[in-house]
Structure 1
Amino acid sequence: MSRPDATTRFSSRVADYVRYRPGYPPALLEWLHRDIGVPRTARVADIGAGTGISTRIFLEAGHPVVAVEPNAPMRDAAKQWLGQDFPALQLVDGTAEATTLSDHSIDLVSAAQAFHWFDTAAVHREWARILRPGGMALVYWNSRLLEGSAFLVGYERLLIDYGTDYSEVAERYQSDQEMRDWFGTGLRGIASFPNVQYLDHESLRGRLLSSSYAPQAGHPRHAAMLDALRQLFDNHAVDGKVAFQYQTRAFIGTLT
């Protein structure tokens, strides 16, 4: 997949992304501060910040944050969502591989759901450049569970049946071993935390349409996909909601 495509493929999905994408569990930052020992004063560069979902958790914890995001509609959404509550937030037009940030200016690089789109060799060099001595990179994402309930199994089947390039995108997520290799001897910790969204039908629909591989209005599979989603929801909802479950996987270490 070309770099421009990876940057722009969410431009038409910003509203759904803001409203329906999951956040990250509080246990993630508890682990970061308590077990890893990252101080709350650490200056964070949130790379591929998108609409600010990952940015917000660091701002709320008191960190000064620079959010780096190449997609203008997503940057604008982050500014609108976070700007009033966190006026010190810096928003930067840059990529993971070319952040535009100064040498040795960052204590912690944060890269969340977008990491699988990056050129991992190039970002290793770039992040090592912007990190201060002893600074670390935190890479984490929500991995949707593919089984464990009839709903989760059915949702995966729906994506396979109707997604435009779902298999290609799904295969891009790195394994634990790939992340161990990427950090090498700098790896300092690996953790996994449960995370869940309880979604009514409208929210489930928005969650699906926030995904870059879900066909949008006008595509020949769009209407059939939404019909299948309605049936899936009706078959498995309890008290008007389904449990959309994840494991938040996290890796942290220095870059040498």
Structure 2
Amino acid sequence: MDNTKKFNGKAAIYAKARPSYAPELINHLSYIGIAKDSFVADIGSGTGIFSKTLLEMGCNVYGVEPSEDMRSESKENLGQFATFYPVNGTAEHTTLQAKSVDFITVAQAFHWFDTVRFKMECSRILHDKGKVILVWNSRVMDSPLVQENEQIFRRFCPDFKGFSGGIGYMDEKIKTFFCNFDVHRFQNDLQFNKSKFIERNLSASYSLKENDVEYDSYIKQLNNLFDKYAIDGMLIVPNETIAYIGQI
């Protein structure tokens, strides 16, 4: 499937279920120079979760998103911000003007991109000495809960190749993308009630949908997993926010 279409039909649940990023990351973004009136291209901006963080910092944000479904959701979610500019574009062809942004951010999406072509596009639209920030919310893989969650996906979801947040497989692409970069990790454990936990799983690109044959069995296994590890109706999923920040 075309990567730009993997989240078709999932925009509403994605916006509802996906978590925000560690507050410490926001402090670090300020430290590296993202500030009020900065121009930022948020590439693969989806429903606008990370764009909202930048907008709340006072940035001018180009939310570049190829999915009409996701882009429409971002317009609805971020309509109160006068400095949000939704853009129908891709990572490899943003349609933005040359040397038009101070920073480029990519939250939870770099693994979908053609890395070589995206790097060329970054070079085109970034101001000199501009920085790129790649961000993931990443499950902590040594957690038994996370490991069992992974096994459910492997059993039921043919398109599952591993959690996008478990980004060890991206290391070589990241190294070749940047000319120099730093890695920052911030604890960001996530708390769910049962319905939110199920919605978070359903928001994944590879998740089964309601009309899939094994959907009911899949949901039953996710419910059982929640019941096994939840305490007083709440489940803590070990998670960290990881940011790769550098120049290309």
TM range (shorter): over 0.9
Question: Which consecutive unaligned segments of at least 5 residues does structure 2 have?
Answer: none
Task: State how many pairs are aligned.
Answer: 247
Show the 5 A alignment for 1:57-136. 57-84=53-80, 86-136=81-131
Cα offset for 1:217? 1.1
SS in 2 for 1:110: strand
Contact 1:33 1:40 (C-alpha < 8 Å) held by counterparts: no
- The residue identity in structure 1 corresponding to 2:20 is G
Cα offset for 1:202? 0.5
Structure 1 pair 75/167, CA: closer, same or farther in 2 (3 Å)? same
- The residue identity in structure 2 corresponding to 1:33 is S
RMSD: 1.8
SS in 1 for 2:50: helix
- Match for 1:28 among 25, 30, 36? 25
Partner of 2:158: 164
Superposed CA offset, 1:29-76 (max 9, x none): 211222x34444321000000000010110011111111000001011
Structure 1 pair 93/18, CA: closer, same or farther in 2 (3 Å)? same
- The residue identity in structure 1 corresponding to 2:92 is E
Q: Distance in 1 between matches of 2:82 and 2:172?
A: 39
SS in 1 for 2:210: coil
Structure 1 pair 168/249, CA: closer, same or farther in 2 (3 Å)? closer
Q: Distance in 2 between matches of 1:135 and 1:52?
A: 22
- Match for 1:248 among 233, 241, 245? 241
Q: TM-score, normalised by structure 1?
A: 0.91
- Match for 2:222 among 212, 217, 229? 229
Structure 1 pair 20/171, CA: closer, same or farther in 2 (3 Å)? closer
Cα offset for 1:194? 1.3
- The residue identity in structure 2 corresponding to 1:66 is Y
Superposed CA offset, 1:180-227 (max 9, x none): 33202xx24221111122111110110111011111112112111101
Superposed CA offset, 1:118-137 (max 9, x none): 00000000011000111111
Structure 1 pair 169/237, CA: closer, same or farther in 2 (3 Å)? closer
Cα offset for 1:164? 2.1
Contact 1:146 1:156 (C-alpha < 8 Å) held by counterparts: no
Partner of 1:146: 141
